[in-house]
Chain A
Amino acid sequence: MEIEKAGIPVAQITAMPTVAQALGPNRIIKGQGIVFPVGDSSLPAEEERELRRRLVREALEALSTDVT
């Protein structure tokens, strides 16, 4: 919130988007899990990497999208 006040857009990746929403950020991406927002230790390494790529790409898309 303070970072956005300074004019820098933030995309938040979190497994608890409703908690995040209550605090009012503008760009939220649902993460994979509490203990690994951008990973999943139950997946094979390459699939896990692909999952992480997808979440980070979503975050980057959110950052380049106008939300006003």
Chain B
Amino acid sequence: MRVVHYLNQFFGGIGGEEKADSPPEVRQGAVGPGRLLESVLPEGSQVAATIICGDNYAAENLEQVQAMVVEAVQEAKADLLIAGPCFVAGRYGAAAGGVCAAVQDRLGVPAIAAMAQENPGTDLHRSRILIVDSGTGPSAMRDVMAAVASLGQKLVNEGPIGRPAEEGYFPQGILKSEFVEQTAAQRMTGMLLAKMKGLPFQSEAPDNPIEKVTPPEPVKDLSKATIALVTDGGLVPKGNPDRITRAFATVWGAYSIEKQTRDGNIGEGKTGLAGEDYEVAHGGYDNNHVQDDPNRLVPVDVLREMESAGVIAKLSGEFYSTTGNANPLENSHRMGREMAQRLKEANVDAVILTST
């Protein structure tokens, strides 16, 4: 097995932060941690070449560094690219992940990086490449290299790759079907019994760490506030102009309600949204009730009343909608950020979010 190894200026032995601007250079054979890597690679393997690049240089010229690493891997006729371990060094991690992804995408040559969970490169690249958990410091360097070598050998031989916890890499957000000995009920009962006896057990549900958000300041005076309606229930104008999908939605829409609620829809009991103007793009619940009366999801009617009565200053002229059904969290975060931007531009003071 022929391996190319990517290192930053520090682990490549060039220098510290003062050498972070060093452009990439290729050296034949193993350098620094590459020697340890070579010692744990399978018999007959070698680190054919090492690329050393300054962290700042890589951060500022990633495309150029990627192109150079691709060329070096090709030239060395390598079977595998390994980058790092980068531990918690952020620029190093981002570059290591970036060169691995480029080599894998452009050459079809497998690539593995190693870094800590806290490294921003991990979240940036874990879905595209295998990243071995290096921990935060080099104390377990040998174990990390052994995990990298074992995983690398499997990739090169196209052998089956075990689960993240078994192989030591970060989950990539992939679900794989597999045959198991016991049904879910049996496994669950086993876990419960273990828990009751105080024995260790491994949950099959990933634990998504939830970040805390400091509550924003409350609205001081509702009668001076602009309120916007946001929903994840998938209400869209007839024809679904943004083609929001009924599950796994990747887009959201902002839909004007000025016309719908100002022209001909004014009057006692008629100030809201009318079913004939809308449809529901959500495959996770029975849409008929909302189709019959969209105010059951996006309560425009009562907010228009409150606006007329001066309870609130203004109902925002558009509502914001997407479909919250089987959505990966990262996706929802992105859409949330985009919505927040639009809400700010619309000078919205507070949001009522309705969820199905």
Contact = CB atoms under 8 A, between A and B. Distances in A.
B304 to A, nearest CB: 11
Given A35-B356, A36-B289, A8 B296 contact: no
Given A3-B340, A9-B216, A35-B290, A52 B295 contact: yes
Interface string A1-28: 1111111111111111000101111110
B351 A9 contact: yes
B222 A64 contact: yes
Contacts of A34: 285, 356
Nearest to A11: B352
A17 to B, nearest CB: 10
Contacts of A5: 213, 340
A9 B292 CA distance: 30
Chain A contact patch, size range: 35 or more
Interface stretch (B46-54, B106-114, B148-156, B331-339): B331-339
B213 A4 contact: yes
A14 B299 CA distance: 13
Contact of B302 (A22, A56, A67): A56
B353 A11 contact: yes
Given A1-B211, A56-B299, 4 more contacts: A6-B341, A15-B355, A20-B355, A64-B218
Interface of B: 210-222, 225, 227, 230, 233, 269, 285-290, 292-293, 295-297, 299, 301-303, 305-306, 311-312, 333, 336-337, 339-341, 343-344, 348-356
Interface of A: 1-16, 20, 22-27, 31, 34-41, 45, 48-49, 52-53, 55-56, 59-60, 63-68
